[in-house]
Structure 1
Amino acid sequence: MSVSPLEQAPAQPDLYRAMALALRVGELLLGGGESTETVAGTMRRITNAYGVPHCEADVNLSAITLSYVPTDGSVPVTAERRVRRRLPDYDRLIAVHDMVRETSAGALPLDVAEIRLREITRRVRVYPNWFLVTGLALVGASASILVGGGVPVAVTAFAATVLGDRASAWLAGRGVAEFFQLAMAAMLGSLVAVLLISFGASLRAEAVVVGAVVALLPGRLMVACVQDGIAGEYVTATARLFEVFFILTAIISGIGITLYAAVRLGVPLSVENVPAAPLVLRPAQLLGAVGVTLAFAIALLVPPRHLIAASIGGGLAWVVFVQLYIWQVPIILGTAVAAGVVGLFGSAYARATRVPSMVLTIPAIGSLLPGTALYRGMLELNLGHADAGLASLLQALSTALALGAGVILGTEILRAVTGSDLTRRVRRPGARRPFIIRPAARRTRGY
């Protein structure tokens, strides 16, 4: 059987180099928080650009596999790369997407692409390390303002978040598992509030806990988990869900240990004093929502040129959420709708600026994360109100899933109206209209 020149396998060294480049790009994207669908599609775009068509990419949470079976009878090739570092760096993520776009357009020879990728991996962070620590602490400070705390509470939440972050960094430097790092950070954040209450400080100490907890919540993972599930990547979605579960368990454990000890020692804790964000359109709360978004964006290394847009998205999410509450829409549904608005806005901005939508959507949902519900649930459990505590924790989990689903819904609405870069339209011979070959769009009717 004759083989078309387009189907002939490339030279062996170029084949290996193209697959290695695709694997490295896939590792960077997955480590940066991209969905499985995006990672697999991007890897195939790279191999197609360098003459290695029909590759199959298998992506899960800790490993990426790329396989190529030549049609000319040559030996098949399979390569794998482990994903050991999963730290968000959205500045580097944008640079990788720019490189892939040029590669797909045929503007980058393989040699140049390899050099470009090495430069991206070695580039200096857009913010220094001390600025990142400050950004994470500002998440706690802004969240405490959002739930009604004043300037003293914000300063205390800032210090508590820094204390928890530095303790986590110390444990990480000694090889302690991340589960215990997060538990320690949550424990110290709640400990600061308990000490303030025990000393009779005249400020809303509980708001300090909420601020410290919000800085730890895995909003990025929750969105990616739901996105993978909707795209049909159920194995990776399940793995991400378990990761979210363990992170939340670590946070709950840290808070629970502190509150249990406080209750046993007679510290006057009360469920009635648990802070909740005043669901009215006040300047203080809007400032807190924008502050949470801006601080999250800095902690995720969003480049400065996108910070204003991210802040607008965070403010928009809060305004929509509060307005829906005023219209008596249930909290969880209102959260999903507000997140959907963020997804729609973020996707539109991403198309206009040619950056991944998560650069805007992930920071913008920060003000909607269920920090208060988590703290209330653990306090109720330790005070002996098991049913109410479990209900609060279930509300927190439902809110988290609603956030992920809402963000993806906004993205899918824009995709339905305008199409997507991930959606390739081709025409079958004799077909009247193009059909979509995006795997997640294939109709199975549930069978």
Structure 2
Amino acid sequence: MALPAGGSAGDPESITQEQLVLSLNFVADAGQLMLESSSSVSEVVVRLRELLPALGLTGCSLDADLSSLVLSYWRPDLALPITTMRDVQVGSPLLHRLAGTSLLLDRLERGQISLAEATTRLAQLRNQPPPQRRFAWSALLLSVAGWVVFLYGPDPVTILVALAATLITFPIAPLVRRVHLAELAGTFLSALVLAAVPNLAYAAGVPVAVGPAVVGALFIYLPGRVLVSSVVDGLNNAPLSSLARGLQALVTAGTLAVGMLAGGALGTGLGIRYVPNTAAVPLALSALGAAIGILGVAIAWGMPRAQLLPAVAIGTGGWVVASLGSQLGTVSGWFVYAVAAGCVGAVGALTARLRDSAASIYTGVAILPLVPGFTLYQGMLALADGHTAAGIATLGAATVTSLAVAVGVAAGLALTTDVYQVRIRLPHRRR
């Protein structure tokens, strides 16, 4: 069954009640899949509202948050409104589902496929595993190696210790689920292990750079994507999801910090002392590390191959902007990072516009080099070593930078949308 998809959906009353129910169910299923694939709520709502007129659902009420999605439609010939609801369970990012659903909606809106065919393909997409699923753990290890290079350079010992610590954390999440503990317990234990293993290796005489080993492994757990989604939702009139995402990012970061503090306390007990980090990796080397780190995370999150290189290029470019800006010395660090994040947001939106996809597919991984993970570690290590004032100041700087990055990405997305008068996708002229 093909519904009108063009400049007009035709006479809404010519669409039967059965067709209305099928359309509403499809939109609800598509929205549920996008939300559960870890997209921002506002981005999903905007995309679904663009689709509704093409399905003859002009005037349909749509409400969504992180736990549910509700659609309700009424017209004069209906005795009662037709309402459908979906429960939403947000989990790990599944970017192949987000990209596939976005493309499917575009094809349906253009009239290239029927609603029945779109419904069938959506069901197939829900059951489809990530394209590189068997490489997920290997991809995360590749990412960790890249982040160590990004922070410290290609030191084999430090890379191996970081990889060993990461391997130990892989069974933690399944174990936590099996014994029915809170997810945050797994986050804490992972951070504790990531901080403890390099410290123990150093105490045993292994010539490892403890900070880069800890933070390089920690990068894959940082909630940067969630924080950006919180700010984007806040700027797009989705306050409940914005608060929920913000609280999630805060609690996750706090749990990671406590785990690092425990590991840092172990390190200070073994004689490791707080030393402010002043070393700088050459830009070319840090950019290479950032590219490898982004690539590994993108593969692990199921990003389709067509989006991998653009995401890596956007993230690496954002880091180059931040690094060059930091060398000026006349501008505050948080402002430099905000500008770099703004570039990531703007280029991510443009890329999504050109490639018929959601901007969050690119920005969620591209911002990782800008997340101040090493600064956070330095602050927790200072607190563990008794340097309270230095620790608080360092953690304050990390917090300000994190917020600047999130706001910068959101501003880049919003500015691009305003300048080109588009949503965060390629609009198609209806014929």
Q: TM-score, structure 2 length as denominator? A: 0.90
Q: CA deviation at 1:262?
A: 4.1
What letter corresponds to residue 48 of structure 1 in structure 2?
A: P
Q: CA deviation at 1:196?
A: 1.6
How large is the RMSD of aligned CA atoms in angstroms?
2.3
| 1:267 maps onto 2:253 in alignment | no
Contact 1:136 1:295 (C-alpha < 8 Å) held by counterparts:
yes
What letter corresponds to residue 143 of structure 1 in structure 2?
A: W
Contact 1:276 1:372 (C-alpha < 8 Å) held by counterparts:
no
Q: CA deviation at 1:115?
A: 0.7
For the residue of structure 2 that corresponds to 1:301, the secondary structure is: coil
What letter corresponds to residue 393 of structure 1 in structure 2?
A: L
What letter corresponds to residue 413 of structure 1 in structure 2?
A: L
> Which structure 1 residue ranges, 5 or more long, are not aligned?
426-447
What letter corresponds to residue 96 of structure 2 in structure 1?
A: D
Aligned to 1:439: none
Aligned to 1:286: 287
Aligned to 2:4: none
What letter corresponds to residue 271 of structure 2 in structure 1?
A: P
> Which structure 2 residue ranges, 5 or more long, are not aligned?
1-8
| 1:324 maps onto 2:325 in alignment | yes
Contact 1:9 1:71 (C-alpha < 8 Å) held by counterparts:
no
Aligned to 1:441: none
CA distance in 2, matches of 1:113, 1:423: 19
Contact 1:9 1:74 (C-alpha < 8 Å) held by counterparts:
no
Q: Deviations over 1:146-199 (max 9, x none)?
A: 121512211221221222122223323433221111111111100111102221
Contact 1:142 1:292 (C-alpha < 8 Å) held by counterparts:
yes
| 1:13 maps onto 2:18 in alignment | yes
Contact 2:66 2:241 (C-alpha < 8 Å) held by counterparts:
yes
| 1:138 maps onto 2:138 in alignment | no
Q: Deviations over 1:101-136 (max 9, x none)?
A: 12222333222221111111122320023x111222
| 1:416 maps onto 2:418 in alignment | yes
Aligned to 2:6: none
| 1:179 maps onto 2:184 in alignment | yes
Structure with larger RCO (C-alpha < 8 A, sep 6+) = 2
What letter corresponds to residue 59 of structure 1 in structure 2?
A: A
Q: Which moved more, 1:353-362 or 1:182-191?
A: 353-362
Q: Deviations over 1:358-403 (max 9, x none)?
A: 2222222211111112111211222222232222222222222212
Q: CA deviation at 1:275?
A: 4.9
Q: TM-score, structure 1 length as denominator? A: 0.87
> Which among 374, 377, 380 is matched to residue 375 of structure 1?
377
Q: CA deviation at 1:9?
A: 7.9
Aligned to 1:436: none
What letter corresponds to residue 174 of structure 2 in structure 1?
A: A
> Which among 342, 345, 370 is matched to residue 343 of structure 1?
345
CA distance in 2, matches of 1:98, 1:91: 11
Contact 1:280 1:322 (C-alpha < 8 Å) held by counterparts:
no
Aligned to 1:428: none
Q: Deviations over 1:287-340 (max 9, x none)?
A: 111111111211221122322222222221121111101111221111111111
| 1:223 maps onto 2:224 in alignment | no
Residues paired across the two proteins, number? 417
For the residue of structure 1 that corresponds to 2:221, the secondary structure is: coil
CA distance in 2, matches of 1:9, 1:42: 25
Aligned to 2:313: 312
Q: CA deviation at 1:75?
A: 0.3
Aligned to 1:431: none
For the residue of structure 1 that corresponds to 2:321, the secondary structure is: helix
Q: Which moved more, 1:386-395 or 1:42-51?
A: 42-51
Contact 1:279 1:325 (C-alpha < 8 Å) held by counterparts:
no
For the residue of structure 1 that corresponds to 2:272, the secondary structure is: coil
| 1:66 maps onto 2:67 in alignment | no
CA distance in 2, matches of 1:44, 1:326: 44
What letter corresponds to residue 147 of structure 1 in structure 2?
A: L
CA distance in 1, matches of 2:10, 2:151: 65
CA distance in 2, matches of 1:37, 1:128: 28
Q: Structure 2 vs 1, CA of residues 390 and 296 (structure 1 numbering), >3 Å: closer, same or farther?
A: same
For the residue of structure 2 that corresponds to 1:420, the secondary structure is: coil
* Runs of at least 4 residues off by over 4 Å: 274-277, 422-425
Q: Structure 2 vs 1, CA of residues 276 and 351 (structure 1 numbering), >3 Å: closer, same or farther?
A: farther
Contact 2:312 2:366 (C-alpha < 8 Å) held by counterparts:
yes
CA distance in 1, matches of 2:418, 2:53: 26
CA distance in 2, matches of 1:83, 1:5: 32
> Which among 164, 173, 192 is matched to residue 159 of structure 1?
164
Q: CA deviation at 1:7?
A: 4.4
